[in-house]
Amino acid sequence: NAGVMQNPRHLVRRRGQEARLRCSPMKGHSHVYWYRQLPEEGLKFMVYLQKENIIDESGMPKERFSAEFPKEGPSILRIQQVVRGDSAAYFCASSPPASDYTFGSGTRLTVV
Amino acid sequence: EDQVTQSPEALRLQEGESSSLNCSYTVSGLRGLFWYRQDPGKGPEFLFTLYSAGEEKEKERLKATLTKKESFLHITAPKPEDSATYLCAVQFNSGYSTLTFGKGTMLLVSP
């Protein structure tokens, strides 16, 4: 079992570019969560998805951010027109229904 | 507003020097309290889940306890490999399965 796989591990984008972060959940896990960790701050919930459905996006900024978890393939967190304040570590977690999470190793986004 | 506060922010111990980390929370309804360990450059690694006041769980040198307002992570005779940031998170009854995290306690154990 390969665990939760996130890629890329590190991503550098210039201001105004798009960032795409990918997350492949553990085998058998149908729930995916995205969290963001800003420097000197705790992990903050962004969005909770099940296959082809967004269940809770209350933590995701209304503009420039979107997430999907298609029927086939990884979950994608997309950030359009990135700004310096988007620089952070983005973590994905997956779980079976009503069970504990497993986190991935994260994608570290740097906006220059 | 539901909050999770961890203390201290940082803790330095000598190898073998036992101590405790604190996690206090103010939530309208607690479904579960979680402890994670996070090493630099890595994602959080699950340690424990506690569901009700009075519950205790142990794993090697770690023991987690829960009261109605706080949780403690006791570290007995720590070793340098226990150095990490320890995160506490709370899951509410009112929400989905999402977690609200504290900022963590950075533990450094010196040989």
Which residue in B34, B45, B101 is closest to A42 by CB distance?
B101
Q: Are A49 and A71 in contact (CB under 8 A)?
A: no
B88-109 pLDDT, tens digit each: 999 987 667 789 999 999 999 9
Give the separation between CA B2 and CA B27, rounded to whole angstroms.
5
A19-50 pLDDT, tens digit each: 999 999 999 899 999 999 998 788 999 999 99
Q: Are B21 and B35 in contact (CB under 8 A)?
A: no
CB contact under 8 A, A102 and B89: no
Cβ–Cβ contacts within 10 Å for residue B12, how many? 13
Give which of A33, A53, A101 to mutate to test B binding, by max B Cβ within 10 Å.
A101
- Name the residue in chain A with its Cα closest to that of B31: A98
- pLDDT at position A21, please? 98
Give the separation between CA B23 and CA A48, rounded to whole angstroms.
25
What is the distance in angstroms between the Cα of A44 and the nearest Cα belonging to chain B? 7
Q: Measured between beta carbons, which residues in chain A are less than 8 angstroms from residue B103?
A: 40-42
Give the separation between CA A11 and CA A27, rounded to whole angstroms.
25
- Name the residue in chain B with its Cα closest to that of A5: B43
What is the distance in angstroms between the Cα of B18 and the nearest Cα belonging to chain A? 25
Q: Are B48 and B40 in contact (CB under 8 A)?
A: no
- The full DSSP string for A4-60 is -EEE-SEEEE-TT--EEEEEEPPTT--EEEEEEE-TTS-EEEEEEEETTEEEE-TTS
Locus of tokens 């969290």: A35
What is the distance in angstroms between the Cα of A83 and the nearest Cα belonging to chain B? 22
Q: Which residues of chain A have pLDDT under 50?
A: none
pLDDT band at B65 (very low <50, low <70, confident <90, very high): very high
B13-42 pLDDT, tens digit each: 999 999 999 999 987 788 899 999 999 999
CB contact under 8 A, A42 and B45: no
- pLDDT at position A84, please? 95
